[in-house]
């Protein structure tokens, strides 16, 4: 039996999700959110670093613009593989272990990039780095979700995920300062050292998912301690059992994404992720290079390109309340507005001020929309397949993120200018808006 400070009597079988849902968002949950945000901060920095240094790499190695496409896509291929593999693995062995291992892998991969002698080595090291980056993201989303009360879950996941956008934006601003003084390799030196130095802190501060512990069973003491950290005035007797009122799902986790009526929603979510990430990575990888081709300096192009992620940070904090309240309806509207903002980038590229505003607005909608998609996906799937659901949605989305830079490179290689490039980039945003609208009608 458990008794709270207010006299609430909790039965001998404590429903963990229901207990968490009754609590206010407290200091412990905010600490979990901040630790996961720190992981995604360095994840975002290391993911986007290649886009910011690309013009300098091309200049040093005398590479054609189209030759950068495989460099961009190698890291994104690693992200896809990491998400597809480590999402289901975390549903088996826990979120915490995968986040720690993933951070170690992408830290080492980024640090080794400092010593890349040519484009082939750069491609191989970006692939390695991407494996770690892809494993960290879905598990940080799942972990934050599972410590959050349902009424605030989407908002808290979106706030946590803002760490990715802040890290990605800081990558551009830091690249603008480091490249002229120390060269492009210095960006990867910082990006590799920070996660490796952060690992001891993560090992101490990162808890295991409370719902995962309750589902696997035999770890009631750990679950009780975590619940007492969420609700410090609650005490539990030694005989209390902690449960999650969800069935244990046997067999291949991916198969359950299509069971019990989840199939159409899963497919629509995959379309949203594919189109959203195609657009996001086409823009984030090619914006600095296109701006540089239009006559903007390398450092200024990196700083202006970073406005995509700055807009994403603002969009994340602005959209959270609306996503919690209006769900996929708000998401559909967000992507529809994104299509107009992306088109505007090409139309106003002659003006630094106007193109900066258009890039900011695009980031507000596309990055904010993608983070909202992550949060909504985490709320849709049950605990036993949550990391699988988020991981596979991100993994399918990463196919889009691989295609995006390649499409951008092919269009630039054909001599297309800024206007047709960004007009074409608006199409995936419209498709994502349509898929989100269909999700709104089904939910």
First to last CA, the chain: 37
- The string of pLDDT tens digits covering residues 56-73 is 888 888 887 667 778 877
Looking only at the bridges linking them, the beta strands covering 2-3 and 13-15 are unpaired
Give the pLDDT of residue 11.
52
Domain count, the chain: 1
At CB < 8 A and 24+ separation, what contacts does 23-32 make? Answer: 23/149, 23/230, 23/231, 24/149, 25/148, 25/149, 25/152, 25/156, 26/230, 26/231, 26/232, 28/147, 28/229, 28/230, 29/147, 29/148, 29/156, 29/230, 31/205, 32/143, 32/144, 32/147, 32/207
Q: How high is the pLDDT of residue 5?
A: 44
Q: How many CB atoms lie within 10 A of CB 74?
A: 24
The answer to whether residue 111 sits within a structural domain is yes
Measured CA to CA, the distance from residue 242 to residue 401 in angstroms comes to 40
Q: What is the pLDDT of residues 124-174, one digit of tens each?
A: 999 999 999 888 988 998 899 889 888 888 888 888 988 887 888 788 788
142 lies in some domain: yes
What's the rounded Cα separation, in Å, for the pair 238 and 242?
11
Least confident window among 3-7, 101-105, 147-151: 3-7
Domain with 42, as residue range(s), is: 2-438
Kindly state whether residue 229 falls inside one of the protein's structural domains: yes
Reduced to 3 states, what is the DSSP secondary structure of residue 14?
A: strand
Considering the domain boundaries, does residue 443 fall inside one?
no
Cβ density class 213-248: b for 16+ within 10 Å, e for less: bbbeeebbeebbebbebbbeebebeeebebbbeeee
* Whole-angstrom Cα Rg for the chain: 22
Has residue 9 got a pLDDT over 60?
A: no
Check whether 7 has a pLDDT greater than 50.
Answer: no
Mean pLDDT, residues 425-429 taken together:
93
pLDDT more than 90, % of the chain:
30
- The domain that contains 403 carries what CATH number? 1.20.1250.20
> Which of 143-152, 257-266, 426-435 has maximum average pLDDT?
426-435
> Which is it for the CA torsion 421, 423, 429, 434, positive or negative?
negative
Does residue 101 belong to any structural domain of this protein?
A: yes
94 within domain boundaries? yes
Summarize pLDDT for 361-401 with one digit per residue, the tens: 999 999 889 988 988 888 888 877 888 888 889 889 888 88
Rounded Cα distance, 396 and 381, in Å = 16
What per-residue confidence (pLDDT) applies to 65?
A: 67
| Domain contains 97 | yes
Q: How far is CA 392 from the centre of its chain?
A: 13
Q: For residues 401 and 398, what is the distance between their CA atoms, to the nearest angstrom?
A: 5
Structure tokens given for 167: 């890290």
Q: What is the mean pLDDT of residues 343-347?
A: 90
As a whole number of angstroms, the distance between CA 234 and CA 232 comes to 6
Residue 238 binned pLDDT confidence (cut-offs 50, 70, 90) = low
In a domain, 396, yes or no: yes
User: How far is 358 from 35, CA to CA, in rounded Å?
Assistant: 32
Question: Whole-number mean pLDDT of the chain?
Answer: 85
The model's pLDDT over 171-222, given as tens digits with 9 standing for 90+, comes to 878 888 888 889 999 999 999 999 999 999 999 999 998 888 888 877 888 8
Mean pLDDT, range 38-52, rounded to an integer: 86
């Amino acid at each position: 039996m458990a008794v709270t400070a207010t006299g609430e009597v909790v039965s001998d079988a404590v429903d963990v999700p229901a207990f968490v849902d009754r609590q206010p968002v407290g200091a412990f949950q905010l600490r979990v959110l901040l630790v996961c945000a720190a992981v995604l901060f360095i994840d975002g920095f290391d993911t986007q670093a290649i886009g910011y240094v690309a013009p300098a790499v091309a200049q040093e190695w005398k590479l054609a613009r189209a030759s950068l496409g495989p460099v961009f896509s190698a890291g994104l291929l690693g992200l896809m593989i990491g998400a597809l593999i480590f999402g289901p693995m975390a549903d088996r062995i826990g979120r915490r272990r995968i986040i720690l291992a993933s951070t170690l892998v992408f830290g080492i991969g980024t640090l080794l990039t400092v010593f890349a002698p040519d484009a082939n080595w750069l491609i191989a090291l970006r692939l390695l780095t991407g494996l770690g980056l892809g494993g960290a993201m879905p598990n940080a989303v799942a972990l934050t979700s599972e410590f959050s009360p349902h009424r605030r879950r989407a908002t808290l996941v979106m706030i946590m995920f803002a760490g990715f956008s802040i890290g990605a934006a800081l990558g551009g601003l830091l690249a603008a300062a480091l490249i002229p003084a120390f060269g492009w390799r210095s960006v990867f030196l910082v990006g590799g050292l920070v996660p490796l130095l952060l690992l001891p802190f993560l090992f101490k501060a990162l808890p295991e998912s409370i719902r995962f512990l309750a589902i696997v069973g035999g770890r009631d003491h750990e679950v009780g301690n975590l619940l007492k950290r969420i609700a410090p005035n609650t005490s539990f007797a030694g005989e209390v059992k902690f449960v999650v009122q969800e069935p244990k799902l046997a067999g291949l986790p991916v198969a359950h994404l299509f069971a019990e009526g989840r199939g159409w929603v899963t497919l629509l979510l995959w379309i949203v992720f594919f189109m959203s990430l195609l657009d996001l990575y086409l823009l984030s990888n090619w914006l600095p290079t296109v701006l540089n081709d239009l006559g903007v300096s390398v450092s200024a192009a990196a700083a202006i390109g970073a406005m995509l992620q700055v807009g994403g940070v603002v969009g994340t904090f602005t959209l959270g309340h609306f996503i919690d309240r209006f769900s996929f309806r708000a998401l559909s509207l967000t992507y529809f507005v994104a299509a107009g903002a992306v088109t505007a980038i090409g139309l106003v590229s002659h003006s630094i001020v106007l193109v900066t505003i258009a890039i900011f607005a695009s980031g507000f909608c596309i990055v904010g929309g993608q983070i909202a998609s992550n949060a909504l996906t985490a709320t849709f799937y049950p605990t036993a397949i949550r990391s699988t659901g988020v991981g596979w949605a991100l993994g399918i989305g990463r196919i889009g993120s691989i295609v995006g830079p390649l499409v951008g490179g092919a269009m630039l290689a054909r001599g297309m200018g800024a206007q047709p490039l960004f007009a074409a980039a608006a199409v995936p945003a419209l498709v994502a808006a349509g898929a989100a609208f269909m999700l709104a009608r089904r939910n």
